[in-house]
Structure 1
Amino acid sequence: MKILLVAATNAEISLLTEHFGLSGAALMKTEKFDILVTGVGMTATAFSLGKHLSNRYNLVLNLGIAGSFDTSIPLGTVLNVVEDDFSELGAEDQGQFLPIEELGFGKSSYHAYNNLLHPSISALKKVKGITVNTVHGSSGSIESIKNRLHPVTESMEGAAVLYCCEEAGIPCLQIRSISNYVEPRNRESWKIGLAIKNLNEWAIGFLTNS
């Protein structure tokens, strides 16, 4: 099985690339898997995947860190994001948000379709995420998005990867580790190092045993 591993930044997969002796370039190739570092955000992710995604890959694995709206999930927890929404894709109608589905111009929700039964995947909690251009950092906007979409995670790339995979008809998997809670911005409480460590350890195990 040939895998395309997709990450926004080299920093998020630094332990993995070091483990496999890879260079940290934007595109790294091995016999079993390739790694594509897209840059941050859904636009950069979609552009990079548009250039490199093809049916020579049997699976796309999106790795990254994320914020969690659920404070009962410990920081550093690795999660399987099985559904992801472009949360801002739509229109405002006074105080109401109209998703693109209601406007008749497409859809905003995508799923990670695959038939993987790997035990390291089965062990992960399945959650719903949202993909944003602006990460939430105020109480009002956080409560609003929680009430509207009930997400667990927040990233800036996830739904773009799932969208590209759906369009290309390629199985996909989105695995994210929680680096912080979605709250009024408080960098002192973030655990980015822990999240990266746990994410990379999971990914190394998966790639080694797949």
Structure 2
Amino acid sequence: MNILLVAATHAEIQPLLTHSEGEKPFDVLITGVGMVATAFALGQQFAQKKYDLAINLGIAGSFDRNIALGEVVEVTEDILAEFSAEDDNQFLTMEELGFGKSRFLASHQLDAMFLLPAKKVCAITVNTVHGEETSIQKITERLRPQLESMEGAAFFYACKRSMVPSLQIRSVSNYVEKRNRENWKIGLAVKHLNDFAVELLEKL
């Protein structure tokens, strides 16, 4: 099976790369941060090689306080939260405008593949991560997201356009709130993400 692991930064999957050093039964693509970099890098990669499965690994912020910091979850739906238009106080989606799609689904899920269990969540992909109370309230009321990242929906989009099966796995590093880095658990999130990824790859 040809597997592509996709991450925005080396730091998010460095423990996995160290664990698999010398014997990597998969390709690795570090796209850079953000949806533009992700879509461009994946387009280039998919033009060069055909994959049986692409897995997006990364950390994320959570709107959902029922998800523990460091918990690993499976994103099954991801939304381009800002890809739309405003009509006074109404927010029009690309679907409503007839100009495209803003919601994307994973083509595969862990339980359907008889792999490791993880809580399924809905995420949004943004250019600006939320850190201000009013904007957090607005996006929560409009889309009811559980997680946010800067790459997930772009990953699903590129996989769909290239007909590559996709999974997105993320670990929660922080809650979406007024920005306070002292509350973040990046090290814990990276550790749990990579432990999960190692076990997942052993099952594939």
Partner of 1:14: 14
- The residue identity in structure 1 corresponding to 2:113 is L
The structure 2 residue matched to 1:204, chosen from 195, 198, 203, is 198
Partner of 2:101: 107
Cα distance in 1, alignment partners of residues 192 and 165 from structure 2: 24
Cα distance in 2, alignment partners of residues 114 and 185 from structure 1: 33
Unaligned runs of 5+ in 1: 23-28
Q: How many pairs does the alignment contain?
A: 201
Partner of 1:25: none
Are the equivalent residues in 1 in contact too, given 2:115–2:200 (CA < 8 A)?
Answer: no
Cα distance in 2, alignment partners of residues 145 and 153 from structure 1: 11
Shift of 1:175: 0.2
> Once the two structures are superposed, what CA deviation does each residue of 1:16-55 show, in whole Å capped at 9, x if it has no partner?
0111116xxxxxx94x210000000000001100100156
Is 1:34 matched up with 2:27?
Answer: yes
Is 1:117 matched up with 2:113?
Answer: yes
TM (norm. structure 1) is 0.92
The structure 2 residue matched to 1:161, chosen from 145, 155, 161, is 155
Q: Percent identity?
A: 56
Cα distance in 1, alignment partners of residues 152 and 12 from structure 2: 14
Shift of 1:59: 0.4
Shift of 1:56: 2.1
Cα distance in 2, alignment partners of residues 199 and 118 from structure 1: 19
> Once the two structures are superposed, what CA deviation does each residue of 1:125-178 show, in whole Å capped at 9, x if it has no partner?
001000000001111111111111111000000000000111111110000000
Pairwise mapping of residues 1-150 of structure 1 onto structure 2 (< 5 A)?
A: 1-21=1-21, 30=24, 32-54=25-47, 56-114=50-108, 116-120=112-116, 123-150=117-144
Which secondary structure state, in structure 1, belongs to the residue aligned with residue 14 of structure 2? helix
Unaligned runs of 5+ in 2: none
Cα distance in 2, alignment partners of residues 173 and 98 from structure 1: 28
Cα distance in 1, alignment partners of residues 178 and 87 from structure 2: 26
Cα distance in 2, alignment partners of residues 107 and 46 from structure 1: 15
RMSD, aligned CA? 1.3
Shift of 1:118: 2.9
Are the equivalent residues in 1 in contact too, given 2:115–2:203 (CA < 8 A)?
Answer: no
- The residue identity in structure 2 corresponding to 1:15 is P
Cα distance in 2, alignment partners of residues 209 and 112 from structure 1: 19
Are the equivalent residues in 1 in contact too, given 2:132–2:177 (CA < 8 A)?
Answer: yes
Moved over 3 A (4+): none
Cα distance in 2, alignment partners of residues 46 and 196 from structure 1: 23
Which secondary structure state, in structure 1, belongs to the residue aligned with residue 164 of structure 2? coil
Shift of 1:57: 0.6
